[in-house]
Structure 1
Amino acid sequence: MKGTVLYKRLANILETSPGFKNNGATIASYLRHYSTQIMEAGQAFEDMYRQGDLVFWILDREINQILEKLKPNIFGQIFFKDESAFFKERINDMIQVVDAFKSKVTDAVRAVRVADSIRDQTEKGLFRGIKIEAEKFVKLGTRNNNEYRSKSSPPPSFPNEELIIDVENAKRHLEQAQEILNMLYRSGYGLNRLIIILNNYRNRLNDVDAELDDKITITKKQIEKLRKLLDNLKECHTKFLKRDEIEDIIDVTLDSQDEFDGHVKVSEKIRDSNL
């Protein structure tokens, strides 16, 4: 995922940045932890995608077999007793498949929630490092450097050339940190939306699961209702896959720049109030 590379790169920079002398190591640890969790969340989604295709193929097959058996029952009568084992086997197979798939969806939801929790810690730590340390370092260092350059023979107490270089480096690191902070704002917004989508997905799956009962009355009407629920779940799955790749959802999922700007302003107000 593109974001994880940038997070790790900034972590390496901040560990030795003069502008983040006190907070750099802690922020770097947060960034690496978040990067790892994003990768784990991505793996959870890949597992869900992979099993999802198989699940729908199996459910389609089982439902079609049941409907084929029910074709003579044009008035919706219950199946013949000698066919009960066949129907029971079909239902049990579907129950097992749905239960296994539900666990994959639950794993994906859990991974996203953990990632968002770590992202929140990382965002707060980076914000504090920028506001409390880096900006002050750059501001004070720039002022001293300007005074240093304005004097033909600066006194020994003035900063040396090495400090001037440190300040210039800190400026670049501060800009990079601000860019990553914006990415964290975006990923927080995207993760929250993902949780909503996944919860809806899981609700649809629960609807199907609720219809799959050992005591289900096997009639054409009942199975067609199950087919409709399955179609709804497929539609939900298709819409979810159209969200593009998981890194795009996590990194940049926004409907408009205005929406993002509003989200950033609210986040900044919350962070400012905590300083």
Structure 2
Amino acid sequence: MSNETSSSTNSIETSLTRTIKLILFAIPLGPSLLCSLHIMICIARKHKLRHRTNHVMICIIIVDFIELTYDLAAITMPYLKTGRIYNLSLCLYWVTGNYALQGISAWLMAWASIDRYLLIFYHRLLSTFTRCDLPLIIIHGFVVLWYVIVTITHPCTENWFDETRFLCGGPCFNINSIIATTDWILLVLIPAMIIIIVNLLLLVRILVQKLWLRSSFKNRRLQWRKTANLLIQLLGITIVFLITQVPLAILCLVQIFLVPDFLIDVSHIWLYYMPYFIYITTPFAYIVTTKECRTRTFRQQQHRIYPIHR
């Protein structure tokens, strides 16, 4: 998003549109943060949730929590309330952090899809550091290094950032259309395509397996239950991602290759804020699909009757 494009959208952004977005974010933000803290407590208390196969989900929860606190609650919501960022010196940190955390989150979702596919159909693979943790390190390192490079090679001019625009008008490297398009392809399009393709392949293969298991042995039916649990957990999180990211990805494709101004006002005022809903709803989806983290386990502990020693 270049400054030239942002100038046209600034005039149609009104206090009403900002207030609507502020309300939409403010209502579920508190419960979402509480859910994230509840999940972290569950992970700390239950050894099963700290298994290597669950590390990618832990990373997703932590990254989303950082995005909600660092970006949405601390900077974006005050901006929506006042119509300007309270300190112009925060612009570089705001836009870089926003882009980096979104890129990490998108690639973590993509790897979670691949990882769950391997767990379901190649469950005999050992849960080693190379298979489970090394991809997470590569994802974080790649995204951070990418934004360090593009930030250093394209330093901001003195008047680039505008305190009245979302993300202060966007990153400085957007002045270079090649780098901006490459950034979008690497950090938005490719992970979204991986998520769609892998999950469709996963669903088709599981449906075929389910039909085959009808005439199979009972122990294979037990394996199906485990497969269903992994699938439900994955789909509960990735569906939220796809609902919010796929429309934006399709719109960006149309704008890049067909009509540059297609729904430009809608994208800048509404769609560019959609990723925040991913971070808000992901903790709820994780709790619903993870029985170890449901609150009833804590209620059971509270109402447990202990024997009286005489």
Larger radius of gyration: 1
Whether TM-score is above 0.5 comes out as no
TM-score (norm 2): 0.35
TM-score (norm 1): 0.39
